[in-house]
Structure 1
């Protein structure tokens, strides 16, 4: 049995360990009554309303009562806030909670066990969808979609594609130089694939698409967690990145790149990418170019206010601190030039960081109003997910509370448009969590 097939099979066995199951649906319909709606697009809550969910869709919304034929499960919202499920535009579910050394040295089945818990925990934080940007997540996604385990909807990129010595090259020093036909542990696990030359990049892109990637992730510049590359370096050439873009476009989807610096981002834009992830070290001219080209900016609120997974004084920690310096300016430029901006967390190698997902969303209030923050984490992030076009694994509208939209919903005790800190404490404030019309939490 192949490693990836084994990981898929493992998901079923993991459930016996105790993930929380969705409530069995005893009724054909679920009716939320007496709720005030944040619809994902506006700046204020609605008047008291009713919302009817049938199957996995929102079918009716009314500020009067809704009459339902047949059986219905009624949920008295008690004037609480009903809003779309949250979306994280930058996750690595397979690498979220374990230390980096554990990911690199343990069998991938152990990593999958940890990822199963991480996926359930993410859903319990109210994040019902995630764009996963690197890692062998296909089996985890399949287990979630089949109902074997609980977790968010996943838009998987599959393996990160990296040049030799790039941000996705996690080969150990004793694995270099590479021998013909020899694959590293990370490549065998489909965590990150090393490819040098346009033809090699094209092949690796096609492989991830064949496995079910909804978008492709290319490493276009230096990074923090990798050991070989300084953060300022530019990676790949325009023809190499363009090879990935062309292969993805032929499948109706897009490429996003990891990049921090102006040179790396400009090169990626020239190659035709549609999204930049990170970019904390950009300048004004490059930000303006992103706006002109309609390129998405997937930013993370990285500041030095939480424990780092990297030792003080290490090369990784120094790169991290250098990157942190640009966060304030990056958000200022995104607002100044009206760049389409997404919210993501990019939690890696730290259970504490993964658990702070809601705290990171609340921290976005440093740069945006609560309405802008919640709009970004719902409606706007859903628009980014829609770039996957026909490769989207979940047809339908997300990120809004509208008739005909998919029923991913949160019922929050309080008004997050007035108090954004509510999202930082989902255990106490998120009373109902629904994904795809199924209730995963109800503490009313």
Structure 2
């Protein structure tokens, strides 16, 4: 069904002639990308539906849907936080051409006719924020809706939240598990507005591990039947090394930039205690080795010292959470250069209301947060910022507030560096699987043009970023202005 006669003799002369540029084949390839599986088809349909309803939603959007930049943009009269240094630099201008920063130069350089000039009025220009632990599909939806609603509804709701995420100044997120491929495609093609998404695909877990959301009525699994969470791509179960390899490859087949492996119990799954272990070390190593074959890395969900240590022994390059780690585990992470992607959970305001075992586990995580950050600083662990806000539009709106929680351990400048340049370094570990090759989280020549103009000085007052609707005057992602409230 994919065959096609060559259009000319030059095409037919080569036994492996490629017809990828032909319109029919190109269309077919695009459909294959969206239709790899049942969930891919449905999520692809959800993204396609957006094109039909966008005119109706336009009035409800925070900003009109932007168009691709057609002329350079010069930011002048600014104070620059470049993501790399802890101080502001004055007397500079930033020229954006296309989706890249063309130059950072002193004064106001001569520019081509037609260049859009944005006078910052002495305000701070900084890189777009990066959230390294975000769930784009389920961040703003109640858990019951996530478990029972039609997948098309989930994607439509997620598309609205994606724009709100961008309007909070988060121009990039690393999706930490879920069927975000179609949403990413819709954003990348300009169908909807939203942050760059580094997708992990389904969270890979064992039977009984965190992300095994099956009801007791679904146990035991019979005839290979998949649960609803597995069918929609939220999570997938693997119970031996070969299954792990298969599940990892399936996520890459759909476009994952890195892989999420569940190495311990979790808070939101009441029947998976935090101290339980899921995969054996050889099984974890199967995931790490398969991921390395694709040139990228594994992020392992793990809270306790045994879970973190097992992941490190298997070669994992990034640990998610680790709130309950001890001094020996922190020292091991530092020795191996393992990344820590941790979330500054400090109170019940940072989560939806939980009961029973989940509430007890939540309190244990809160109790461990201060110690985990203290150990990370003591041992010089490479530490990334993420928020991991789930199941509530009210909580999702606190993304910038979560960043301010870092002030318990870091200066505002250190927190800003973590949420920009440092997070950008972790994203770069995806290597050839990086969907957005180019420097993120910094303002320098050649970097991706993700920029925020802040009404105030976040290097001194980080709380400005907790009120983005008021304090973010300009939001640019990929060289395109998505918000500009300055008078022009």
TM-score range, shorter chain: over 0.9
The residue aligned with 2:3 is: none
Give a deviation string over 1:292-316, Cα, whole Å, max 9, x none.
Answer: 000000010001140642344x211
The residue aligned with 1:31 is: 74
Q: Does 1:279 align with 2:315?
A: no
Give the alignment partner of residue 437 of structure 1, picking from 457, 479, 482: 479
Kept after mapping to 2: 8 A contact 1:37/1:49: yes
TM-score, normalised on structure 2?
Answer: 0.89
The residue aligned with 1:191 is: 234
Give a deviation string over 1:96-116, Cα, whole Å, max 9, x none.
Answer: 011111101111111111111
Matched residues in 2 for 1:21 and 1:8: separation?
23
Give the alignment partner of residue 121 of structure 2, picking from 78, 81, 89: 78
Matched residues in 2 for 1:7 and 1:57: separation?
30
The residue aligned with 1:318 is: 360
How far is the alpha carbon of 1:148 from its aligned partner? 0.4
Give a deviation string over 1:185-212, Cα, whole Å, max 9, x none.
Answer: 0111111000100000110000001110
The residue aligned with 1:227 is: 270
- The structure, 1 or 2, with the larger RCO (C-alpha pairs under 8 Å, 6+ apart) is 1
Change (3 A) 1:26 1:136: closer
The residue aligned with 2:27 is: none
Give a deviation string over 1:382-426, Cα, whole Å, max 9, x none.
Answer: 000000000010011111010110100000011111111101111
Give the alignment partner of residue 45 of structure 2, picking from 9, 30, 40: 9
Matched residues in 2 for 1:160 and 1:320: separation?
20
Matched residues in 1 for 2:69 and 2:204: separation?
45
Please tell me whether Structure 1 or Structure 2 has the larger radius of gyration of its CA atoms: 2
SS at match of 2:159: helix
The residue aligned with 2:280 is: 237
Kept after mapping to 1: 8 A contact 2:70/2:98: no
The residue aligned with 1:202 is: 245
The residue aligned with 1:259 is: 302
Matched residues in 1 for 2:408 and 2:271: separation?
33
Change (3 A) 1:182 1:25: closer
Matched residues in 2 for 1:65 and 1:106: separation?
53
Matched residues in 2 for 1:279 and 1:217: separation?
15
Matched residues in 2 for 1:74 and 1:223: separation?
49
1:16-95 equivalences under 5 Å are 16=55, 17-18=57-58, 19=61, 20-24=63-67, 27-95=70-138
SS at match of 2:89: coil
Kept after mapping to 2: 8 A contact 1:22/1:441: no
Matched residues in 2 for 1:358 and 1:77: separation?
22
Matched residues in 1 for 2:161 and 2:230: separation?
23
Kept after mapping to 2: 8 A contact 1:61/1:402: yes
Query: 5+ unaligned residues in a row in structure 2: which ranges?
Result: 1-34
The residue aligned with 1:342 is: 384
1:312-391 equivalences under 5 Å are 312=355, 314-391=356-433
Matched residues in 1 for 2:267 and 2:314: separation?
24
The residue aligned with 1:160 is: 203
Kept after mapping to 1: 8 A contact 2:341/2:383: yes
Kept after mapping to 1: 8 A contact 2:69/2:479: no
Kept after mapping to 2: 8 A contact 1:279/1:299: yes
Kept after mapping to 2: 8 A contact 1:308/1:317: no
How far is the alpha carbon of 1:62 from its aligned partner? 1.5
Change (3 A) 1:435 1:228: same
Kept after mapping to 2: 8 A contact 1:11/1:149: no
How far is the alpha carbon of 1:27 from its aligned partner? 4.5
Matched residues in 2 for 1:343 and 1:44: separation?
20
Kept after mapping to 2: 8 A contact 1:22/1:439: no
Change (3 A) 1:337 1:425: same
Kept after mapping to 1: 8 A contact 2:94/2:104: yes
Give a deviation string over 1:335-375, Cα, whole Å, max 9, x none.
Answer: 00000000000111111211100001112111100110000
How far is the alpha carbon of 1:46 from its aligned partner? 0.6
How far is the alpha carbon of 1:13 from its aligned partner? 2.7
The residue aligned with 1:403 is: 445
The residue aligned with 2:216 is: 173
Kept after mapping to 2: 8 A contact 1:21/1:150: no
